[in-house]
């Protein structure tokens, strides 16, 4: 059991035994041409830690991951994706039979409107790249599986908790994990994170800690939500 | 000596002893906001192999590298860069005292015109990203160091050799290495490459082989160019 911080009893009790937990992690890649793409600084570490902690607690975990440099965890079903659309398709395929989804992936909000099959040549001094909004997977989940426990993430540089609360309401999430990525000692590239957990009743801000410890705290909050679904 | 394919005598003779070789490798990252960036599929493997082969041949090697997942080679001076402009600055700093430059980095042709200090919110259905051409480092090298041997790369999806020849002429290179990235068995992600070496006299196409073997062939072509500079 990798769980260190929270009560070891949770681990021994295998409190998520019989539960199916879907975790998304890492960035997405949105191709511009065969050569270039838009992506983001997500390392996938937070999501991989959540997947491992959930598996340690007895859950049947499926990890849907964008491209990362991390070792695929042993104890989880692993689905590799590239673009936001690929990740959404993988979620749709697995969400029906899931009890909870923890969406820690940094899914690109926008993708190039058109994909150029040949490499764009360096010619004009200025070019314009047209981007279109990616589909909103969160909004469609309720229709597919109304009893699903939904945990979102909000990575922001400013007004972090305010934006996170709005997302919690708008997307009808059960829980949202906010983290301020403007702090260089935590967040994307780091092994540490500084999280705030927000649900419809309260906001709890934690000090900076390892991503594995953050994952334990997050799952500690997911366990009671999951027991409700029984 | 990692050199395997070419005459081991070259290695023993340390034919590049006393020569300073600058090698660029990997992709560049062009930030859109603190979160998102434009990049490309370069793994850096080709450039790292060239740096190692050049060092094995006795050269004093400086490797200027964009972000990669590769182990920093032991026997070279290593400079880490992110954006095209950072890479250009690092080249300018080192090129004065160099005898040759091998530019295998996949430098972004364009960068976002403005960097947004706060994360762009998901709002409009369509957004446009204005891109501006990055400075052309190759064109400025002649002024800084006229005796520099210049080796370029051309990674293309179509008309590869034609574009490569044009680049050889336009940028006043001594040699260009063309590779067709439309072939999934070679190129960016792969450990193999299928290269064509073009100089002002001839075009030599090689079969697919490992990137270390490609690096040996490339340096085999660079050695006579370097002896001329003495």
Across the interface, do A36 and B122 touch by the CB < 8 Å criterion?
Answer: no
State residue A40's pLDDT score: 95
Mean pLDDT of A126-136: 92
Across the interface, do A132 and B110 touch by the CB < 8 Å criterion?
Answer: no
More confident residue, B136 or A102: A102
Interface test with B, best of A66, A110, A154, A156 (most B CBs within 10 A): A110
Q: In sequence order, what are the beta bridge partners of A24? A: A64, A103
- Closest CA–CA distance from residue B206 to any residue of chain A (Å): 22
> Which one of B34, B128, B163 has the shortest CB-CB distance to A130?
B128
Across the interface, do B126 and A132 touch by the CB < 8 Å criterion?
Answer: yes
- Closest CA–CA distance from residue B59 to any residue of chain A (Å): 31
Q: How does residue A227 score in pLDDT terms, banded at 50, 70 and 90?
A: confident
Residues of A in contact with B153 (CB under 8 A): none
State residue B13's pLDDT score: 79
Q: Which residues of B are catalytic?
A: 40
Residues of B in contact with A35 (CB under 8 A): 40-41, 106, 155, 157, 181
State residue A5's pLDDT score: 62
Residues of A in contact with B119 (CB under 8 A): 155-158, 181
State residue B136's pLDDT score: 85
State residue B220's pLDDT score: 92
What is chain B's mean pLDDT, rounded? 90
Q: What percent of chain A has pLDDT over 90?
A: 71
State residue B10's pLDDT score: 67
Across the interface, do B34 and A182 touch by the CB < 8 Å criterion?
Answer: yes
Across the interface, do B125 and A109 touch by the CB < 8 Å criterion?
Answer: no
State residue B74's pLDDT score: 87
pLDDT single digits (tens) A142-165: 888 999 999 999 988 888 899 999
Instruction: Nearest chain A residue to B119 by CA: give it.
Output: A157
Residues of A in contact with B38 (CB under 8 A): 32, 36-38
Mean pLDDT of B132-160: 89
Q: How far apart are CA A8 and CA A158, in angstroms?
A: 36
State residue B4's pLDDT score: 65
Q: What percent of chain A has pLDDT over 70?
A: 93
* Residue B24 and residue B101 in contact, taking contact as beta carbons nearer than 8 Å: yes
HEC per residue, chain A: CCCCCCCHHHHHHCCCCCCEEEEEECECCEECCCCEEEEECCCCHHHHHHHHHHHHCCCEEEEEECCCCCCCCCCCEEEECCCHHHHHHHHHHHHCCCCEEEECCECCCEEECCCCCCCCCCCCCEEEEEEEECCCHHHHHHHHCCCCEEEEEEEECCCHHHHHHHHHHHCCCCEEEEEECCCCCCCCCCCEECEEEECCCCEEECCCEEHHHHHHHHHHHHHHHHHHCC
pLDDT single digits (tens) B147-157: 999 999 998 88
pLDDT single digits (tens) A82-107: 999 999 999 999 999 999 999 999 99
State residue B181's pLDDT score: 80
ipTM: 0.87
Instruction: Nearest chain B residue to A121 by CA: give it.
Output: B109
Q: What percent of chain B has pLDDT over 70?
A: 93
pLDDT single digits (tens) B169-209: 999 999 999 988 877 676 677 899 999 999 999 999 999 99
Across the interface, do B124 and A109 touch by the CB < 8 Å criterion?
Answer: no
Across the interface, do A126 and B126 touch by the CB < 8 Å criterion?
Answer: no
Mean pLDDT of A168-192: 85
Instruction: Nearest chain B residue to A109 by CA: give it.
Output: B122
Burial of A127 (0-12, 13-18, 19+ CB in 10 A): middle
Across the interface, do A132 and B117 touch by the CB < 8 Å criterion?
Answer: no
> Which one of B35, B109, B121 has the shortest CB-CB distance to A155?
B35
Q: How does residue A122 score in pLDDT terms, banded at 50, 70 and 90?
A: confident
Burial of A200 (0-12, 13-18, 19+ CB in 10 A): exposed
Report the range out of A185-189, B110-114, B122-126 with the highest average pLDDT: B110-114
More confident residue, A228 or A203: A203
* Domains of chain B with CATH codes: 17-115+132-228 (3.40.50.10300)
Bridge-based pairing of strands B195-198 and B203-205 is antiparallel
Residues of B in contact with A106 (CB under 8 A): 35
Interface test with A, best of B119, B164, B188, B190 (most A CBs within 10 A): B119
> Which one of A39, A128, A157 has the shortest CB-CB distance to B37?
A39
Specify the range with the lowest mean pLDDT, choosing from A13-17, B40-44, B74-78, B180-184: B180-184
Burial of B117 (0-12, 13-18, 19+ CB in 10 A): exposed
Mean pLDDT of A211-218: 94
Tell me the two tokens of residue A63: 């990890």
State residue B7's pLDDT score: 61
More confident residue, B139 or B40: B40
State residue A7's pLDDT score: 61
Interface of A with B (CB under 8 A): 32-41, 69, 106, 108-110, 113, 117-122, 124-133, 155-158, 163, 181-182
> Collapsing DSSP states into helix, strand and coil, what is residue B10?
helix
Residues of B in contact with A132 (CB under 8 A): 125-126
More confident residue, A203 or A184: A203
Mean pLDDT of A13-34: 94
Q: How does residue B42 score in pLDDT terms, banded at 50, 70 and 90?
A: very high
State residue B9's pLDDT score: 67
pLDDT single digits (tens) A42-66: 999 999 999 999 999 999 999 999 9
Instruction: Nearest chain A residue to B189 by CA: give it.
Output: A35
What is chain A's mean pLDDT, rounded? 90
More confident residue, B89 or A228: B89
């Amino acid at each position: 059991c990798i769980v260190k911080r929270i009560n070891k009893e949770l681990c021994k009790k295998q409190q998520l035994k019989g539960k199916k937990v879907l975790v998304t992690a890492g960035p997405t890649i949105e191709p511009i041409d065969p050569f270039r793409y838009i992506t983001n600084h997500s390392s996938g570490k937070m999501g991989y830690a959540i997947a491992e902690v959930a598996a340690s607690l007895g859950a049947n975990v499926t990890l849907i991951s964008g491209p990362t440099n991390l070792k695929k965890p042993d104890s989880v079903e692993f689905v590799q994706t590239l673009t936001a659309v690929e990740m959404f398709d993988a979620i749709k395929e697995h969400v029906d039979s899931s009890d909870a989804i923890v969406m820690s992936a940094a899914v690109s909000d926008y993708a190039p409107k058109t994909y150029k099959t040949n490499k764009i040549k360096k010619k004009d001094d200025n070019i314009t790249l047209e981007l279109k909004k990616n589909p909103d997977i969160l909004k469609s989940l309720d229709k597919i599986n109304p009893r699903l426990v939904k945990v979102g993430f909000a990575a922001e540089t400013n007004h972090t908790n305010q934006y996170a609360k709005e997302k919690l309401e708008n997307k009808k999430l059960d829980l949202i994990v906010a983290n301020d990525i403007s702090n260089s000692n935590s967040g994307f590239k780091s092994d540490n994170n500084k999280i705030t957990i927000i649900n419809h009743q309260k906001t709890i801000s934690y000090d900076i800690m390892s991503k594995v410890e953050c994952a334990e705290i997050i799952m500690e909050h997911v366990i009671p939500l999951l027991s409700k679904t029984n």
